[in-house]
Structure 1
Amino acid sequence: MPENLKVTRDDAVAVLTIDRSEKRNALTAGMWAALPGVLAGLADDPAVRVLVVTGAGPSFCAGADIGDLLGGPDSGDPMAQLRRDNLAAQAALRDFPRPTIAMVRGHCIGGGVELATCCDLRFTDPTGVFGVTPARVGIVFTPTSVRQLVQLVGPATARYLLYSGELLDAENALRTGLVDRLLPAGDLAGEVRRFAEVLASRSALTQRAAKEVVAALADGRDDEAVQALAARWYRETAASGELAEGVAAFTERRPPRFPWRP
């Protein structure tokens, strides 16, 4: 496990903490490169039902460490390797097979926004500050990062953020759709934990199917392909016993013991 990426587990909930608080959890090139492996290990653990991503101390993540931006060997494209590692980390988080929640305090800037938007849900408290800042340093956000942003906030707000590098406070991040929940000060960790436990108690099959279908629709896959994807999951609800257990539990007024495991 890389020194600045910490994983803790509490029952079915895993927490991945970016732990470089003296730099507002800015990610070094090595941390970007290590993230896919860390996430793969968590994805391979069937006991992990929900993943929470957060930062140590008062910040979530201030983005990539600016000292690494020009560190590549190719003077014509010094960010080439960093960009590849960044995209691989985003893909690993975006494709994580179980629900993911970004728990954001303080600064969520640049690469921090990239990580947060790759999570399924984003919760913050009043300290949250969000910025997409490539225009401040003269770099270009990758199409993958721009698409994730546009899907959440729409083209107009994406342009506003990308053109200006202006920061959004937590209330405006909620208003624009960049975050899903704004919690009172002191309530963030407790509510994220409560909601993660709710997710862990639900049907993992339903969640996996929903995640794949939402991603397919967001990526613009044609209707026939989405229908085929959904049909495969419909068949699995019966074949796995997931639907039968859900109906039985509802009828018997007891918590379900869903049998399907990813």
Structure 2
Amino acid sequence: MFGGSTVQCLRLSVRLHSSVQLNCTAVANFHTSSVIFGSPADSLGKFNAKLVKVEKKNNVTTLTMNDPKKLNGWTGPMMITVRQLFKDYAKDEETKVLVLTGADPYYCAGVNLAATMAPMHPKKLRETIRVNNQALFDAFLDFPKPILIAANGPAIGASVTSATTCDAILASEKATFNVPFAALGIPPEGCSSIHFERMMGKDVAAKLLNEGWKPNGKEAAEIGMAMEVVAHEKLMPRAQEIAESWVKSGKKKSIPGGGTVEEYKKVNAKESEDLADAFLSYKFLDAQYNFLMSKGKKSNARVFWWVKTLRPIWGRML
């Protein structure tokens, strides 16, 4: 694995601070793109039925991400559970339309990078990042039936980009949509590098991806990200109504903006490669260090100081 006294110091630093969580937003729990940093693809955790509530009515299956204490963040077990349920209901003949929502107050705070920060060889770490990122978005793209996102509250990072590849987003008046990739020093993911422009136009895509604009539900509807915005208490009844109308009309899966599953899976594969490189770049590590220092989290920031300082050494192993 690693060699040399300085890199051994890095390994010790990571172990001492294994609970550090990478950040992309200044909420109490910090979440970002779609990677579990340092977690092998086969060790994200186990399926946990308690993390997602399932309700079936009139050929509509509603999945409610149910981990509000963690803002419904995509921890390893949450991702495993959602992905498995997608596979199950893809085969379920009674399910014609899927609705995905979250337990209040958040829709989803993105992928939680705090699950594990175990030391591993840089090449293996890069592959882990690539595989996990690609698998997450492929789960949405591969689902063969219409998906309606009922965004009940704030959505961050991967939960936004994945939602936009679904058939439609119904937004609560309490919803917001945040894709802070530029601030993190990482490239777009979830096919947003091409999909945002197709779906919402060049200017809006640039505003979201480059300027960090965070539209609310009303604004999301105005720019074409959401199909409509409704009062919070009417969100789920309206979602059921829309989904049942899709069942009645025999609606088929579609991607807003005209993309195809085959094309977007190729885009996702390329973006996942780029993201894996970016997560191991000096620019990203330095951005994390500066962010944590600005929040007074000096102990956590020290981890990133070591990682970025020693990058010329471990970078040779990539």
Q: Structure 2 length as normaliser, TM-score?
A: 0.60
Q: Find the counterpart in structure 2 of residue 130 from structure 1.
A: 177
Residue of structure 2 aligned with 1:158, choices 205, 224, 234? 205
For each residue in 1:211-235, what CA deviation from the matched residue of structure 2 results, as whole angstroms up to 9, or x when unmatched?
Answer: 7995449949xxxxxxxxxxxxxxx
Q: Which amino acid aligns with 1:182?
A: V
Cα offsets for 1:98-138 (capped at 9, x unmatched): 21100001111101102211211000121111111122333
Distance 1:74 1:165 in 2: 33
User: Superposition pairs for residues 107-118 of structure 1, below 5 Å?
Assistant: 107-118=154-165
Which residue is 1:100 aligned to?
A: 147
What residue identity is the alignment partner of 1:194? E
Paired amino acid for 2:177: F
> Which residue type is aligned with residue 252 of structure 2?
R
Matched, 1:208 2:243: no
Q: Do the aligned partners of residues 169 and 11 (structure 1) sit closer, same or farther apart at CA in structure 2, a change above 3 Å counting?
A: same
Deviations 1:170-211 (A, max 9, x none): 1221111111111123211111111111111223xxx33867
AA partner of residue 164 (structure 2): T
Distance 1:82 1:42, change over 3 A: farther
Bigger RCO (CA 8 Å, 6+ sep): 2
**Gap change, CA 1:78 and 1:5, over 3 Å in 2:** farther
| Whole-Å separation in 2 of the counterparts to 1:77 and 1:104 | 35
Residue 192 of structure 2 aligns to a residue whose secondary structure is helix
Unaligned segments of structure 1, at least 5 residues: 221-262
Deviates more, 1:194-203 or 1:137-146: 137-146
Whether 1:49 aligns to 2:58 is: no
* Alignment CA distance shift 1:104-1:143 (3 Å): closer
Identity percentage over the alignment? Answer: 24
The match for 1:121 is: 168
| Worse-matched range after superposition: 130-139 or 26-35 | 26-35
Size of the aligned set, in residue pairs, is: 217
Q: For each residue in 1:140-170, what CA deviation from the matched residue of structure 2 results, as whole angstroms up to 9, or x when unmatched?
A: 2237232332332222222221222231111
Local SS of the residue matching 1:66: coil
SS in 2 for 1:164: coil
Amino acid aligned to 1:158: A
d(CA) in 2 for partners of 1:71, 1:166: 33
Q: Which residue of 1 aligns with 2:196?
A: 149
Q: Corresponding residue for 2:82? A: 35
**Cα distance in 2 for residues equivalent to 1:102 and 1:129:** 13
